[in-house]
């Protein structure tokens, strides 16, 4: 469905019905749930004092010299990262980190903490992610230790939505306390001042981030992905599940490649320049994008609004749940059904939690925190008021709606990384050309020839060494994808010895 407000612009009027549906269609008032981050602790059966185990870890650690080192026997990288008592950190790129303690101060202190990344959780789902990480932990500690049990340490329940245009129009900050029902006593608001009179809410949080219980945050997920330059894998997931349109995806990618949230507006001009029809408007878009015409933020926004729709903004509502929260559930844990079987019995507790997410979801969205409708005059006490229509939609959400698609995420990550690297190379070679020639008349092909001419045998060896390291880092990430077909339009001819490279 195309939103009414997306029809009030130049390019919508220029498109035919098929083009409108192709570019602007999405599912309105959509909410998508997923686990965004998961930490679990690992407890071992044997006493934590095996000398040979620590000798092995120290040998790995000694290999680190500023860069992560690939360990072929473990298919992991060891890093220089440490965390409190956890001296050793092993990582599987974009999948998980395994933190291992040198010693445990008390008997019930967990010697290992594992952090599953959002990338892995959204790519394969929480069950497969847990089993994959568990297998690597078992390989790491073998033959010195065996796992006794694992326990949740922190789980982030995320709800991505296109329901609201932005947080500032959805929430009345002056009456925020009147709208919310919870036991939170602290909060935080982070905002940006935009243009002459606009305030953009980037982040609203309830609770204390440093507590070991609960923390709730609502924030502009679109802005976070663009400005931090990671988690772009959400784009194809949002598109596939109807949260955004192809037009939104176009604008997101342009802004992501620039790492600039401001470019989200300029991307709209790029879109019109590529697909619009009015010659005069296209000429002005080109002038603004080329820097010939300078516009203040408000003027640029007004111009973009006349020719294209505003891109959809995705808001994330995220409950960060920690140890104390799950301790309160300990007595009832054994009564929760275990539906999904795993060959690793130590994971039963975590699988039981995942199987009963709907119960935790109801607890979080009803008892922990909810937003009520201040227009409800039937009840005087806010605790008794009806929830907002959006919150009712959130409470009634079916958590089985998201189906992981690992190939979709992997292919998109690969293709977008190719664009990022290509942009970096082009910019670097252009800079090199200016240093070499002190003028900017050369095109990219001449710059490329200059660059290749400068390479020495030593540079070639460095490149080969780096490529091997990178290959280990990316090992397995794209193994299920077909190689990209590249039409080779150019070849190299060595003018000195006549050798030819195609």
Counting Cα atoms < 13 Å in the Cβ hemisphere of 83 gives 12
Domain finish residue from 153, 178, 201: 153
**497 within some domain:** yes
| Arithmetic mean of pLDDT, 220-226 | 96
Domain count, the chain: 2
Distance of CA 438 to the CA centre of its chain: 41
Count the Cβ atoms, other than its own, within 10 Å of residue 336: 15
The pTM assigned to this predicted structure is 0.87
- Higher-confidence residue: 405 or 46? 46
Instruction: List all residues 6 or more positions away from 174 whose beta carbon is below 8 Å from its beta carbon.
Output: none
Residues 428-447 have a mean pLDDT of 73
Structure tokens at 322: 């920690």
Distance CA 72, CA 98 (A): 16
Establish if 492 belongs to a structural domain.
Answer: yes
Domain closes at, from 112, 132, 153:
153
67 domain-assigned: yes
Q: Average the pLDDT over 264-272 and give the result.
A: 97
Residue with tokens 């997920």: 221
pLDDT(499) > 60: yes
pLDDT of 95: 94
User: Which tokens go with 170?
Assistant: 């959805």
Give mean pLDDT, residues 257-277. Answer: 96
pLDDT interval class at 486 (50, 70, 90): low
Which residues have C-beta within 8 Å of that of residue 446, sequence separation ≥ 6? 433
- Residues 10-33, mean pLDDT to the nearest whole number: 96
Compare 332 and 290 and report the one with higher pLDDT: 290
Which of 137-146, 221-230, 285-294, 416-425 is the least confident region?
A: 416-425
Residue 429: pLDDT above 90? no
For residue 454, the enclosing domain spans: 406-501
DSSP 439-465: S----HHHHHHHHHHH--HHHHHHHHH
Greater confidence, 415 or 271?
271
Do the domain assignments include residue 293? no
Give the mean pLDDT of 190-208. Answer: 90
Q: Decide if 227 is inside a domain.
A: no
Phi, psi of 485 (to 5 degrees): -85, 125
**pLDDT (0 to 100) of residue 312:** 97
pLDDT exceeds cutoff 60 at 139: yes
Q: Is residue 48 one of the residues assigned to a domain?
A: yes
Instruction: With respect to residue 276, please indicate whether it lies within any of the assigned structural domains.
Output: no
Could you tell me if residue 338 is inside a domain?
A: no
Please state, in angstroms and rounded to a whole number, the distance separating the CA atoms of residues 156 and 490: 49
Q: Tell me, what DSSP letter sits at residue 495?
A: T
100, 130, 153 — which closes off a domain?
A: 153
pLDDT confidence of 445, banded at 50, 70, 90? Answer: confident
Q: Which residue has the tokens 């050793």?
A: 88
Residue-wise pLDDT tens digits, 29-67:
999 999 999 999 999 999 999 999 999 999 999 998 878
> What would the pLDDT profile of 472-483 be if each residue is shown by its tens digit?
666 655 555 566
Token readout for 63 is: 């290999």
């Amino acid at each position: 469905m195309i939103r009414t407000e997306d029809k009030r612009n130049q390019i919508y009027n220029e498109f035919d019905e098929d083009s409108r549906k192709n570019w602007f269609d999405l599912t309105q008032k959509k909410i998508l749930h997923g686990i965004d981050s998961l930490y679990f602790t690992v407890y071992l059966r044997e006493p934590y004092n095996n000398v040979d185990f620590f000798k092995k870890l120290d040998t790995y650690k000694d290999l680190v010299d500023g860069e992560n080192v690939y360990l072929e026997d473990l298919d992991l990288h060891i890093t220089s990262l440490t965390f409190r008592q956890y001296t050793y950190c092993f990582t599987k790129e974009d999948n998980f980190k395994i933190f291992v303690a040198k010693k445990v101060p008390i008997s019930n202190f967990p010697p290992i903490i594992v952090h599953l990344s959002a990338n892995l959780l959204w790519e394969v789902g929480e069950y497969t992610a847990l089993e994959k990480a568990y297998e690597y932990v078992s390989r790491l500690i073998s033959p010195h230790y065996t796992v006794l049990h694992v326990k949740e340490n922190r789980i982030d329940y995320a709800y991505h939505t296109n329901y609201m245009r932005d947080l500032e129009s959805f929430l009345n900050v002056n009456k925020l306390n009147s709208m919310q029902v919870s036991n939170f006593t602290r909060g935080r608001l982070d905002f940006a001042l935009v243009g002459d009179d606009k305030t953009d809410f980037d982040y609203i949080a309830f609770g204390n981030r440093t507590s070991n219980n609960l923390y709730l945050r609502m924030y502009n997920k679109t802005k976070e992905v663009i400005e931090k330059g990671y988690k772009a894998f959400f784009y194809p997931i949002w598109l596939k599940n109807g949260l955004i349109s192809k037009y939104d995806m176009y604008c997101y990618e342009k802004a992501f490649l620039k790492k600039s949230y401001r470019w989200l507006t300029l991307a709209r001009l790029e879109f019109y320049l590529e697909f619009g029809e009015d010659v005069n408007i296209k000429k002005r878009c080109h002038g603004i994008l080329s820097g010939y015409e300078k516009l203040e933020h408000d003027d640029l926004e007004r111009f973009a609004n006349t020719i294209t729709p505003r891109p959809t903004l995705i808001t994330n509502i995220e409950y960060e749940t920690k140890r104390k929260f799950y301790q309160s559930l300990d007595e009832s844990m054994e009564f929760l059904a275990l539906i999904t079987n795993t060959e690793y019995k130590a994971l039963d507790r975590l699988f039981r939690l995942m199987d009963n997410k709907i119960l935790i979801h109801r607890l979080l969205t009803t008892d922990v925190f909810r937003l009520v409708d201040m227009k409800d005059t039937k009840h005087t006490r806010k605790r008794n008021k009806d929830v907002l229509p959006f919150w009712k939609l959130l409470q009634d959400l079916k958590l089985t709606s998201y189906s992981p698609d690992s190939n979709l995420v992997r292919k998109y990550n690969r293709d977008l990384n190719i664009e990022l690297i290509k942009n970096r190379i082009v910019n670097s070679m252009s800079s090199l050309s200016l240093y070499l020639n002190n003028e900017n008349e050369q095109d990219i092909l001449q710059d490329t020839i200059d660059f290749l001419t400068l390479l020495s045998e030593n540079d070639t060896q460095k490149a080969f060494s780096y490529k091997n390291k990178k290959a280990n880092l990316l090992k397995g990430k794209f193994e299920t994808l077909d190689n990209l077909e590249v039409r080779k339009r150019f070849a190299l001819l060595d003018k000195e010895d006549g050798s030819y490279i195609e």
